[in-house]
Amino acid sequence: MGRWLIPLLIVAALGLGAYAYVQERQVDGPLTGESTGRAIADRRAIAVIFDNFNPDARPQSGLNAASLVFETLAEGGITRFMGVYLEHDAAKIGPVRSTRTYFNSLAAGLGVILGHDGGNVDALQELPTLTTVFNEDNDRISGPFYRTTDRAIPHNEYTSTEALRAYAESHSGSTTGAPEGIPHKSDASPGRRPNHFQLNIQFSYGDYNVMWRYDPGTNEYARYMGGVPHTDAATGHQLQAKNVVVMRLTETPASDPYTPNSINLGTTGTGAATVYEDGTAIQGHWSKPSADSPLQWLDISNHPIALNRGATWIEVVPSGNSVTTS
Computed over every residue of the chain, the mean pLDDT equals: 94
Task: Supply the pLDDT for residue 109.
Answer: 98
DSSP state of 103: H
Dihedral angle over CA of 275, 281, 283, 288, nearest 10: 0
Whole-model pTM over 0.85: yes
Nearest to 207 by CA among 71, 60, 79, 50: 79
Please, what is the end-to-end C-alpha distance for the chain in angstroms?
59
- Give the containing element (helix H, strand E) for 265: strand 263-265
Give me the CATH number covering residue 296.
Answer: 3.50.90.10
Last residue of a domain, one of 147, 170, 193: 170
Counted domains in the chain: 2
**CA distances (Å), origin 21, targets 6, 17, 126, 206, 313:** 15, 6, 42, 51, 33
Listed residues 119, 144, 170: the one ending a domain: 170
**Residue 119 domain-assigned (yes or no):** yes
d(CA 326, CA 315): 18
245 touches 297 (CB < 8 A): yes
Segment 139-183, tens digit of pLDDT: 999 899 999 999 999 999 999 999 999 999 999 999 999 999 999
In what helix (H) or strand (E) does residue 259 lie, and over which residues does it extend? none
Tens-place pLDDT, residues 263-321: 999 999 999 999 999 999 999 999 999 999 999 999 999 999 999 999 999 999 999 99
152 lies in the same domain as 79:
yes
Backbone angles phi, psi at 318, to 5 degrees: -55, 145
125: left (phi over 0), alpha (psi -120 to 50) or beta: alpha
Q: For position 20, what pLDDT does the model report?
A: 54
**Percent of the chain topping pLDDT 90:** 91
* Residues 106, 211 within the same domain: no
Cα(94)–Cα(187) distance, integer angstroms: 31
The two beta strands, 323-325 and 198-201, are: antiparallel
Asked which of 139, 170, 201 is the last residue of a domain, the reply is 170
Strand 113-116 relative to strand 134-137, pairing = parallel
Residue 67 structural domain: 40-170
Percent of the chain with pLDDT over 70: 93
Closest CA to 259 of 90, 80, 93: 80
- If asked whether residues 208 and 249 sit together in one domain, one would say yes
Does residue 136 share a domain with residue 228?
no
Are 129 and 216 found together in one domain?
no
